[in-house]
Amino acid sequence: MGNPNFYLDLMSGDPERVAQIIQDAQAGNVDAMYTLGVLYCEGRGLPVDYEKSLEWLKKARDLGDRDADQMIRAVSYQLYLKESEERLKKG
């Protein structure tokens, strides 16, 4: 893996930077995959999407990112809360 701080520094939500992170993640860069998962979770430069967040974080984990497991647990919990809230609203 490269320098993970490089991608974390890009997490400003700037559309051009987000586009570069997406491109790098799609090309197989593990640090970019992890960062993209965080961006989707937090809604920085992208709409909040916990499913896509988990998808990218799991790819990063499967390729050896050691921090991804903890983030996967956090995002899974956020998804659980969102789904629970939606069920309660439906009655």
Report how many domains make up the chain: 1
pLDDT of 17 reads 85
What global pTM score does this model have?
Answer: 0.84
pLDDT of 53 reads 97
**Taking all residues of the chain, what is their mean pLDDT, rounded to a whole number?**
88
pLDDT of 1 reads 45
What's the CA gap between 74 and 9, in Å, rounded?
A: 21
Query: How much of the chain exceeds pLDDT 70, in percent?
Result: 85
Nearest to 5 by CA among 26, 35, 43, 48: 35
The CATH code of the domain that includes 80 is 1.25.40
pLDDT digits (tens, 9 = 90+) for 43-68: 988 999 999 999 999 999 999 999 99
The parent domain of residue 70 ranges over: 4-90
At 52, the amino acid letter reads K
CA angle 22, 26, 31 (to 5 degrees): 70
